[in-house]
Amino acid sequence: MTDAAYPSWDAVYRDNATWVYRLMYGKVGNRPDAEDLTAEVFMTALRPLRVSASVPEVRKYLRMTARSVLASYWRERMGHEVTSIPEDMPESDEPEELSDAPEKVRRLLTYLPDNYRRILELRFLQAYSVRDAAAQMGVSIANAKVLQYRALRFAAQTAAEETT
């Protein structure tokens, strides 16, 4: 695409879905949430975004929308924003360098109590639903939700302490 406007919403989606998904996956680390967040970015941008806007304007708007959607996602789960999206983020379809995130996650999981580690492994590494994770752990769904919330808070606190 050039600096001209997109011909349709379909073109906006086709040209930008990959980089938005990769961005979300890089920030949340699991496919189901990344897919949901990508869809939310486009659904949120659909109404206010003008198709007549130039390609760079559309990408900038999608990036700002992605930042808001991601902040809301983390605020719901952690009680505060834990990530940011740089303004000069590349929008390339080229594969990015391998991340050290998997090693960081493995190291962080070792610091967690067993029940916290288990709920996070089931929910985010094995993509279990809350209901299935609760059944696997032998706890109620409400208890699994509380465990997940506390585990995420504990993990975020531990990660923050580790970086300081």
DSSP bridge partners of 5? 54
pLDDT at residue 20, as a whole number: 93
Q: How many CB atoms lie under 10 A from the CB of residue 135?
A: 15
CB-count exposure of residue 111 (10 Å: 0-12, 13-18, 19+): middle
User: Does pLDDT of 26 surpass 90?
Assistant: no
Please determine, looking at this structure, whether the domain spanning 100-162 carries the CATH number 1.10.10.10: yes
CA separation for the pair 28, 4 (Å, rounded): 32
Q: How far apart are CA 163 and CA 129, in angstroms?
A: 30
| pTM of the complete model | 0.50
How large is the average pLDDT for residues 24-31? 83
The β-bridge partners of 66 are none
Helices of type H across 29-140: 31-46, 55-78, 101-111, 114-120, 130-137
Using a 10 angstrom Cβ sphere, with 0-12 exposed, 13-18 middle and 19 or more buried, the burial of residue 117 is middle
| Separation between Cα atoms, residue 74 and residue 38, nearest integer Å | 14
- Could you report the per-residue pLDDT of 90-137, keeping only the tens digit for each? 555 554 555 666 777 788 888 889 999 999 888 877 778 888 889 999
pLDDT per residue over 143-153, tens digit each?
998 998 898 88
